[in-house]
């Protein structure tokens, strides 16, 4: 099974500096923020998809194999080089997996590596990123018609330890996607996006350069092979029903 391949969990980076008040217009990418666990000194990426709802990778909730209390996590949206006020997580609404081997997190199938979390208070000054579950064949068709794939996250690139939002643009589905992803019901999306530790939970987006892009997958891990790094993400179809229920249940 593809998920059993030797892969590196795109896991944790040191927590960033305290947030500063933003200046100037807030960019579209502000909805992509950091999910930090201050007591554990760990950090992932998460995306605001509704005023009180974020999505991320399940293994970010199990940094040492043990499920974290919801209120131990905080979400900080991003505004370019500046950071917006932090909001605490209030509830772990849904998880694709309920436990994880602390010694072998890579054994958790990518197809279940997703989490839907609710925030303590609504974020109203940032436009959420819309989620669009897409079959892999439709992703391929849209790319052939001119749309592009990108991945964003707070990975550890060089000396910048999770302080900045990085992006990998013009990603491709790997050539063998039809064969390697068969049997996963479009819940495994493998691309050429360059991801690193700390990018876990970050969005894979699709759209035209001049339009709002939609979240179609969440980064889980990466797999390095002779012809480059492969990003392994869980397709939005894996958590679409749970996400809709969470949004519908919002007061």
Q: Are residues 95 and 147 in the same domain?
A: no
Same domain, 102 and 168: no
* 5 lies in some domain: no
Rounded CA-CA distance 44/50 in Å is: 19
Residue range 4-16: mean pLDDT, rounded: 48
Q: Would you say how long the chain is, in residues?
A: 251
Rg, the chain, Cα only: 16
- Give the tokens for residue 193: 């996006």
Tell me the per-residue pLDDT of 71-90, one tens digit each, with 9 for 90 and over: 999 999 985 556 678 999 99
Range of the domain at 163: 136-237
pTM of the predicted structure, to 2 decimals: 0.85
State the chain's mean pLDDT as an integer.
83
- Number of structural domains in the chain: 2
CA dihedral sign of residues 85, 90, 95, 101? positive
CA-to-CA distance for 87 and 221, rounded, in angstroms? 26
The predicted-structure confidence for 173-216, as pLDDT tens digits, reads as follows 987 766 666 666 778 999 999 888 889 999 999 998 777 899 99
DSSP-derived letter for residue 242 is H
- Does residue 250 carry a pLDDT above 60? yes
Asked if residue 12 has pLDDT above 80, the reply is no
Domain membership of residue 199 (yes or no) is yes
What pLDDT score does 162 carry? 54
> Does 26 share its domain with 51?
yes
What tokens appear for 201 in the block? 């939970």
Residue 6 lies in a domain: no
Q: Which residue has the higher pLDDT, 251 or 154?
A: 154
């Amino acid at each position: 099974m593809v998920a059993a391949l030797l892969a590196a969990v795109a896991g944790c980076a040191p927590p960033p500096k305290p947030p500063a008040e933003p200046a100037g217009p807030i960019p579209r990418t502000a909805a992509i923020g950091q999910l930090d666990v201050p007591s554990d000194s760990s950090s992932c990426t998460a995306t605001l998809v509704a005023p009180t709802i974020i999505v991320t990778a399940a293994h970010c909730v199990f940094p040492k194999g043990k499920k974290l209390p919801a209120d131990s996590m905080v979400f900080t949206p991003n505004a370019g080089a500046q950071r917006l006020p932090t909001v605490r997580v209030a509830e772990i609404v849904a998880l694709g997996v309920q436990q994880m081997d602390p010694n072998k997190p890579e054994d958790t199938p990518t197809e279940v590596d997703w989490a839907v979390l609710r925030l303590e208070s609504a974020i109203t000054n940032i436009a959420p990123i819309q989620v669009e579950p897409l079959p892999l064949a439709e992703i391929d068709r849209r790319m052939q018609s001119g749309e592009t794939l990108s991945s964003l996250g707070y990975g550890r690139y060089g000396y910048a330890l999770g302080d900045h939002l990085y992006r990998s643009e013009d990603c491709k589905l790997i050539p063998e996607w039809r064969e390697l992803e068969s049997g996963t019901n479009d819940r495994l999306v493998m691309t050429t996006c360059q991801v690193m530790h700390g990018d876990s939970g970050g969005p894979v987006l699709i759209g035209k350069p001049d339009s709002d892009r939609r979240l179609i997958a969440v980064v889980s891990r990466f797999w390095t092979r002779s012809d480059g790094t492969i990003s392994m993400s869980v397709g939005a179809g894996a958590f679409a029903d749970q996400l809709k229920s969470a949004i519908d249940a919002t007061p």
